[in-house]
Amino acid sequence: MQTHEIINRFTEHFRAAGHTVVPSASLILDDPNLLFVNAGMVQFKPYFLGDAPAPYPRATSIQKCLRTGDIDEVGKTTRHLTFFQMAGNFSFGDYFKEGAIRHAWSLVTGPQDQGGYGFEPERIWATVYETDDDAARLWHEVAGLPWERIQRRGVEDNSWDMGVPGPSGPCSEIFYDRGPEYGAEGGPIVDENRYTEIWNLVFMENQRGESTGPNKGDYPVLGPLPQQNIDTGMGVERIACLLQGVENVYETDLLRSVIDKAEEVSGRRYGDDHDDDVRFRVIADHARSGVMLVGDGVTPGNEGRGYVLRRLLRRIVRSARLLGVHEPVLGEFAKVVRDAMSPSYPELVTEFDRIDSVLRNEEEAFLATLSTGSKIFDTAAAETRKAGGTQLPGSKAFQLHDTYGFPIDLTLEMAAEQGLSVDEQGFRELMSEQRRRAKEDAKARKTAHGDLSTYRSLLDSHGTTEFIGYTDLQSTSRVLGLLVDGAPVPVAGQGSEVELVLDRTPFYAEGGGQIADTGKLVGEGVELQVTDVQRAVPGLFVHTATVLGGEVGLDTELEAAVDVDRRSAIARSHSATHLVHAAVRSAYGKRAAQAGSLNSPGRMRFDFTAPSGVSSSVLGGVEEEVNEYLQNDVEVQAYNTSMDRAMELGAIALFGEKYGDQVRVVDMGDYSRELCGGTHVGSIAQLGVVKLVSSSSVGSGVQRVEALVGMDAMRRISKEHMLVNQLAEQFKAPAEELPERVESMVTRLRNAEKELQQLRVSQVLQSAGELAGRAADVSGVSLVAEQVPDGVDGNSLRALASEIRGRFGSRPSVVAVFSSDPETSKVSFVVAVSRDAQDRGFAAGKLVPAFASHVGGRGGGKADMAQGGGSDPSGITAAIGALRKEVEQVVSRG
């Protein structure tokens, strides 16, 4: 049974059982505790936590998941995966243990010709929490499992929580007996290789508190949850392994196809060599993970999600290289992943050009890194041999890995080729220390879900806030909640900073790149200034305000009024963002996916994925296309429709956003159609003009453009026009001739600077004879150590030192000249040593450390010439004295 059929059967089974089919959330949901979605229940957490009412009593999904804790173990075993799919069914206060067990059993053991998976009932085992008599009884009564195939386990195995205060409860796991050839008899408590876990049912019934110790169960149970919930998960890849009759997940249809391609490009065969098998598995897993991550909007980078993606992709390239493949491979593997996964994820086809572009650019950059790393390795290897060693230090291997992204396996391979070993123990210790620091940092950042109980209570008692701000900018509203410093209060007086929850509001809460509205709340004898609006929990608008006068209390009736001018300016910016997005996609194609935005009064910022910087010609083309379209005065329409209908209409959805069945579409003719919850103008002509003012790179493969809109754009254009007129007047030339005139002037200035520099050098060199004449004799060595006039640069100092040294002919000489720059308070110095002085033990590079600290600097060079700089001109005299002493000591040692 192919994997997509396994997925379809799961979905249809629970659809028939009254579950709402919910699409997989993006891998990059906005969750402060998660880098990536790592479990099927993540997108349903607000319902389990009580932050929002569930829109359906029961649901089912096939969730994309990614876990990064065992990246280094992937490939070494056949169990570890980074990307996997979790099939789940969920109940929000609806059915509980009996329903969960009944639904799972009927699908697992149902005949294949009736839509089930067809597992033999006599090979199924179940585990329950050690005190969960109900679950044990239900497995016996509902599923008919004999008591000896129902085993009890402790808190480490059969209890569940999110690792932070919140829901928790016992769980029950379903295991399949693969047979005596896989291990000992006795059920999962004896051998989990033979007895393979295929399903986990979580019975969410308790509220847990803060951890009190290092172990999983070290926390107090605060009491029962308001309602009992079900969260179950079935590993799709693990089920596929069993139903396809293969030994492990890497031989299932979706992963084996990538291994087949790796065999094709490398000429090697999976199963012939253990080390090669590890590399094949790394390629298969990471290629799928990489494609799915890029598909969900992640781009390679040096931090966070981008770093994980970069690491995965580089491990693929590294593994291919160790298989003997030195040509680019990511694009070929991506095509295989696309073809294998697209039946369940059709967006991989529509977004493939963008995905392919990101992968190819990252591979090209990494191949350049490998080239650089190889040179650094060669230097390190040469230093090791020169010192008489045969082992590359662990610190050098770690530097190659950490600083240059150079994989340790390649370091080991290249060292072996040169007859060297690597201090792997030292490398592992440094890696472990780095991981320890990373874990401590992550633990410090990871927090429990904030105390939102007050907001949840308001949501439970009063329902969601009615937002009327799409059509009205004023309303009569009533205060339902009043907080100061996060605590509920009955009343607040003048000068208080408060949070208010209103029954209805015209104020837009920050979201979707659009900043929040501001404005006034006015009631009888009271006035407040609204400075921010946020959604503390889904559906509840919380207004941050200052009480300007009087007192505000619960049930106070207020007239809410949005700052109209500010809202209009923000709406213009948001509408301009949609148009710029459309123009950017026109220039770059679908690969230019939105990666972020900010809409503030009169100014917009738009980030998008693109392989390289935005050229001035493209920037100009985008600006021209947007402003040309503004002339059409197209009406902006916003309407709600189903997600499926929106996709049929070609609406663009943003990566990482979670959408429900009903979505809001914003149309600006056929030119722009996006899913958007923000506020917009009524007609695009209201934008006036859009002026792109800058472009920059904000990460690997992510570009940013910024623009001014409306009057802000007009003011910028007017200012630039005035500046052009002033320049034209200064140059006595028409505006269109200014570029040539400016270029001509710049050329003349550069030529003049070169002539001036040559004159300075000539003047400095003229002093060479005088300085040589002041040389001190130190036991037969002529020493010149002088401070020359300010402002002499390093090149001129080198020429001067060389000229002075030449004046001594064959006499041993040491020359040091210093100059300071009064504008920067920097010091430059050069030391020159003649051949005869070198024969007496002098080396310019070794003299520098003797005096450089006096000028707060450093430097270096070869035996004949060295130079450097410092930050303390007041120490030049002391530096000259220190140099004299060092010269005397070298002479005495000689």
- Which of these, 302, 244, 250, lies nearest to 278 by C-alpha position? 250
Contact (Cβ atoms closer than 8 angstroms) between residue 798 and residue 777: no
80 is in an annotated binding site: no
On whether 140 is known to bind a ligand per the annotation, the reply is no
* Cα 446 from Cα 428, distance rounded (Å): 26
Single-letter residue type at 166: G
Residue 816 in 3-state DSSP? Answer: strand
Structure tokens given for 616: 């001035």
Q: 95 phi and psi, to 5 degrees? A: -75, 165
Structural element, H or E, at residue 729: helix 711-731
Tell me if 153 sits within 8 A of 136, measured CB to CB.
no
| Angle between the N-to-C axes of helices 236-243 and 3-16, in degrees from 0 to 180, rounded to the nearest 10 | 110
Both structure tokens of 714:
């007009």
For every residue of 125-184, DSSP letters joined together read EEEEETT-HHHHHHHHHTS---GGGEEEE-HHHHEEE-SSSEEEEEEEEEEEE--GGGS-
Distance CA 507, CA 467 (A): 8
Residue 529: strand, helix, or coil: strand
How many Cα atoms occupy the beta-carbon half-sphere of 156 within 13 Å? 3
8 A C-beta contact, residue 11 and residue 57: no
DSSP string, 341-356: HTTT-THHHHTHHHHH
What are the distances in angstroms from CA 466 to CA 54, 475, 492, 501, 660? 18, 11, 24, 11, 18
State the Cα–Cα distance between residues 174 and 194, nearest whole angstrom.
13
How far apart (Å, rounded) are the C-alpha atoms in residues 623 and 583? 8
Q: What is the rounded distance in angstroms from the CA atom of residue 258 to the CA atom of residue 281?
A: 9
Helix (H/G/I), strand (E/B), else coil: 591: coil
Closest CA to 406 of 435, 367, 444, 349: 367
Quote the CA–CA distance of 495 and 581 in Å, as a whole number. Answer: 43
* Amino acid identity for residue 562 in this structure: V
- What's the gap between Cα 673 and its chain centre? 27
Distance CA 164, CA 156 (A): 16
CA-wise closest residue to 4 among 355, 239, 285, 208: 239
Range 405-423 burial, b when 16+ CB lie within 10 A, else e:
bbbbbbbbebbeeeebebb
Owner of token pair 């880098």 = 35
∠ Cα 98 101 107 (to 5°): 135
For 484, other C-beta atoms within 10 Å of its C-beta total 14
The 3-state secondary structure of 372-432 reads: HHHHHHHHHHHHHHHCCCCEECHHHHHHHHHHHCCCHHHHHHHHHHCCCEECHHHHHHHHH
What distance, in Å, lies between the first and last C-alpha atoms of the chain? 86
- The dihedral over CA atoms of 79, 81, 84, 88, expressed in degrees to the nearest 10, equals 50
Exposed e or buried b for every residue in 430-446, given b needs 16+ CB within 10 A? bbeeeeeeeeeeeeeee
Rounded Cα distance, 633 and 629, in Å: 8
For 338, the token pair is 């696309």
Contact (Cβ atoms closer than 8 angstroms) between residue 422 and residue 415: yes
Residue tagged 């503030």 (tokens): 600
Binding residues: 574, 578, 676, 680
Numbered residues of the known binding site for Zn(2+)? 574, 578, 676, 680
